Amino acid sequence: MSNATLNRVVKEIADEMMERKDRGEVATYISELAGVDVNSFGLVVVDSSGHVAAGGDADATFSIQSISKVFTLTLALGMIGDKLWQRVGREPSGSPFNSIVQLERERGIPRNPFINAGAIAVTDAILSGHQPRETLGEILRFMQFLSGDPSIKIDEAVAASEQRTGFRNIALANYMKSFGVIENPVELTLGVYFHQCAIAMSCRQLALAARFLAHSGRNPSTGFLVVPAERARRINAVMLTCGHYDGSGEFAYRVGLPGKSGVGGGILAIAPGKASIAVWSPGLDANGNSRLGRDALEILSKRMGWSIFGS
């Protein structure tokens, strides 16, 4: 499809979503997220040629929260390779993102890297042998590099809010520590984790940062290889099966693309070989995923014929 067609589709979807009334509820357990305007909506698609189609609040920054887990997983696999899978699984959880129940049954090994326990274990793997500030700086520089935007930063108010209210994450980390899954002091691992979730980005920045996942691990504009093609495929596979917690099956059924959500209302989605996509609408459904974000991606996937399961 032409650039003009993609621009039109994205604008039409953004306009339609801005008119929707049933928008879900913003996350309130993190106080800094509770005040976000539920009427916000942004959508950006970056295609294989580097063309950016944007609609709505495309350049408004928001807390990416669990979307950061895609990028820390990428970093951890780059650092220790498949040894990471000895500490975290690759199976859907079928449980809420902050559940402790499965950890007890499975001796402290999180089901996948996208539930909170799994992401904490991944962060711990990145932290090993480094100082927290150094590790956090590496994560932030990675995001800046991928998006080509050095202005990306951490929202310190959100990070502080998460630290004040992160009791379940503290419990998860201590439980994993008791089984030896967490190697570093719990407070250091959690400090990095809370701050990585508080990275603030716009849909435009996020879609640009994820281009390598849509193009076999390579930025198609620069030719730079971020990860081998096989690793990009595997990250996409985990996104498809686990990226929306216990709503992952519904997302795959309706949208048909690998994706990763965050309770800040963002969703990152990948149309392999075609485009990277970021959408933001802070109202969440019962599973903690953006309600309008999923609807917008379902419409986009259908209109563009991008579902990995066929048009």
Which one is catalytic: 40, 66, 93, 248?
Answer: 66
Cα torsion angle, 236, 218, 142, 148, sign: negative
Residue of 161, 193, 261, 281 marked catalytic: 193
Joined tokens for residue 261: 């959500």
The partner residues of 269 in beta bridges, in order of sequence, read 259, 277
User: Is position 29 annotated in a ligand binding site?
Assistant: no
Residues 4 and 66: their CA atoms lie apart, in Å, by 32
What's the alpha-carbon Rg for the chain, to the nearest Å? 18
Query: Is 287 one of the annotated binding-site residues?
Result: no
Tell me the one-letter amino acid at 273.
Answer: G
Selected catalytic residue, list 158, 186, 263, 279 = 263
95 labelled catalytic: no
Residue 35 contacts by C-beta under 8 Å, 6 or more apart in sequence? none
Q: Is 153 tagged catalytic?
A: no
Cα 126 → chain centroid: 17
Q: For residue 48, say whether it is annotated as part of any ligand binding site.
A: no
116 is in an annotated binding site: yes
245 is known as an active-site residue: yes
Residue 260 annotated to the active site: no
Alpha carbon dihedral 162, 64, 181, 98, in 10-degree steps, equals 60
Residues 6 or more apart whose CB falls under 8 angstroms from that of 280 comprise 40, 41, 42, 43, 57, 60, 62, 203, 264, 265, 266, 267, 290, 293
Active site residue: 68, 245, 276, 301, which one?
Answer: 245
245 is in an annotated binding site: yes
Would you say 193 is a known binding-site residue? yes
253 is catalytic: no
State phi, psi for 46 to the nearest 5 degrees.
Answer: -115, 115
Give the DSSP H/E element, type plus range, for residue 296. helix 291-304
Q: For residue 121, report the phi and psi dihedrals to the nearest 5 degrees.
A: -65, -40
Query: Residues 69, 93, 99, 281: which is the catalytic one?
Result: 69
What lies within 8 Å, CB to CB, of 310 at 6+ separation is none
Kindly tell me the burial class for residue 117, based on how many C-beta atoms sit within 10 Å of its own C-beta (0-12, 13-18, 19 or more): buried
Q: Would you list which residues are annotated within the binding site for substrate?
A: 66, 116, 162, 169, 193, 245, 263
Q: Would you list which residues are annotated within the binding site?
A: 66, 116, 162, 169, 193, 245, 263
Residue numbers annotated as active site: 66, 69, 193, 245, 263
